[in-house]
Amino acid sequence: MKLEIAESQPLADRIRPQSLDDFVGQGHIRNRIEAFTQSKRLPSLLLFGPPGCGKSTLALLLAKLTGKKYLRVSAPEAGLTALRKKLPGHDILILDELHRFSKAQQDFFLPILESGEITLLATTTENPSFSVTRQLLSRLHVLRLRTLSREELERVAQRGAEELSLELEEESHKLLAAMAGGDARTLLNLIEYTAELPKDKRTAKALRESLPEIVVRGDRDGDSHYELASALIKSIRGSDPDAALYYLACLLESGEDPRFVTRRLIISASEDIGLGDPHALTHAMSCHQAVETIGMPEGFIPMAQTAVYLALAPKSNSTYAAYRTAQKEVRDNGAKPVPLHLRNATSALQREWGYGRGYLYPHNFPKSWADQDYLPNELIGRRFYHAKDQGDESRLNSWLRQFKRSNK
């Protein structure tokens, strides 16, 4: 019976480390972990990191090392009413996926942590700066766990294969580790799947063909969703088409909503390219429309074209920076009154007050340019926009520069 139960357990549970010596990875926080184990009282912790990096395993190890009674629950499955009933008699609460509790629900833990009634060992895949209340965060020590390295994953794979008495060549271990995307749980699932295959299908070459399609874990509700989008935009901004294509593929292969991607491309076309190539915004808008029209999977074609176009385009953030400067002026000093000559005189009284008086209509002048001030009096001469001498922006500014010089 015990054997049947063991065999029905997921491999990740069967080989879960029973001591810190067996725990793989997270060398950057080992000293802190050891310090916690040697302290008189284990503090409340928040273990933050990507899926499959060992957050729950580490929480369980720390709880067991205290020798105290602990309770483990998952936030999506545990309502606060049920949790209140289960807590009495326990010293430690291991709470998986803390971010799934609302900000209001998280307030439940404040008094019991403040009183020392219970030690909380919580885990989250989301950035706690945004997903955890400031009050709760101040009562927790935050440990940030990292994605497991390829070498660390290969050690996990070896342990999983030994548990299943599975013989795998070295190249197969490396392939499975690469496909797991830093997630030990995904890796062990792949090991289990491989163990069910005929022996001749376990070579690296055969595995590439027989394994189910494994895509990069996009974690669309977590940090990597934004990290990949950020990497895509920064690669475009840095004029690296190869990196832009790579991160575009990472996003799309993770199942990302293509509309999210096209919106990022539109923003980049205006923020990072701007007047360097004014056509970039039109190109990005066309890409958005094309993806809406043809859908996926073919939608990657216009997105790839657009990502490369934007990466190759001359860059200028002058209009973005200009708006930010103008925005700061308004926020710091308030909006100044519009000069009278720029106001529309829609009534006799407004004309009497001087609305519109002295306004020079540019189209009545050569090349449609009139030498007059437009900013409020207090800001005359203030510059928000600083042109960059590259791409189309230089051409767009040349006629105005020449005209201003000729009117000095």
Are 264 and 227 spatial neighbours (Cβ–Cβ below 8 Å)? no
- Assess whether 267 and 342 both reside in one domain: no
Handedness of CA 103, 105, 106, 111 (dihedral sign): positive
402 part of a folded domain: yes
17 part of a folded domain: no
Separation between Cα atoms, residue 217 and residue 194, nearest integer Å: 20
Which of residues 312, 341, 356 is at a domain's end?
Answer: 312
Please report, in tens digits, the pLDDT of each residue of the chain (408 residues total): 334 445 567 888 888 888 888 888 888 988 898 888 888 889 999 999 888 888 999 999 999 988 899 999 888 777 788 888 888 889 999 999 888 888 888 888 899 888 888 899 999 988 888 888 899 999 999 999 988 888 888 888 888 888 888 888 888 888 888 777 778 888 888 888 888 888 888 888 888 777 655 544 444 445 566 788 889 999 999 999 999 999 999 888 777 788 889 999 999 999 999 999 999 999 999 999 999 898 888 999 999 999 999 999 999 999 999 999 999 998 888 888 889 888 888 888 888 888 888 898 888 888 888 888 888 988 888 889 888 888 888 887 777 777 665 555
- Assess whether 296 and 347 both reside in one domain: no
Are 367 and 403 spatial neighbours (Cβ–Cβ below 8 Å)? yes
CATH number of the CATH domain containing 200: 1.10.8
Burial (CB count <10 Å: 0-12, 13-18, 19+), residue 28: exposed
175 part of a folded domain: yes
3 part of a folded domain: no
CATH number of the CATH domain containing 91: 3.40.50.300
CATH number of the CATH domain containing 374: 1.10.3710.10
- Assess whether 307 and 275 both reside in one domain: yes
- Assess whether 265 and 341 both reside in one domain: no
- Assess whether 363 and 396 both reside in one domain: yes
Are 107 and 135 spatial neighbours (Cβ–Cβ below 8 Å)? yes
Within a 13 Å sphere around the CA of 6, how many CA atoms are in the beta-carbon half? 8
254 part of a folded domain: yes
The total domain count for the chain is 4
Q: How many CB atoms lie within 10 A of CB 350?
A: 14
Which of residues 128, 144, 160 is at a domain's end?
Answer: 144
- Assess whether 203 and 282 both reside in one domain: no
- Assess whether 68 and 44 both reside in one domain: yes
118 part of a folded domain: yes
Maximum Cα interatomic distance, the chain, rounded to a whole number of Å: 99
Q: Name the token pair of 317.
A: 């953030």
Separation between Cα atoms, residue 45 and residue 373, nearest integer Å: 60
pLDDT at 41: 87
- pTM of the full predicted structure? 0.58
What are the DSSP E strand ranges found in 79-158? 92-96, 119-124, 141-144
Which domain covers residue 84, as residue numbers?
26-144
- Assess whether 35 and 114 both reside in one domain: yes
CATH number of the CATH domain containing 270: 1.20.272.10
- Assess whether 191 and 235 both reside in one domain: no
pLDDT at 225: 65
Are 314 and 395 spatial neighbours (Cβ–Cβ below 8 Å)? no
- Assess whether 342 and 374 both reside in one domain: yes
Q: Name the token pair of 338.
A: 């519009």
Separation between Cα atoms, residue 311 and residue 241, nearest integer Å: 5
Which of residues 312, 338, 358 is at a domain's end?
Answer: 312
21 part of a folded domain: no
- Assess whether 172 and 252 both reside in one domain: no
325 part of a folded domain: no
- Assess whether 157 and 259 both reside in one domain: no
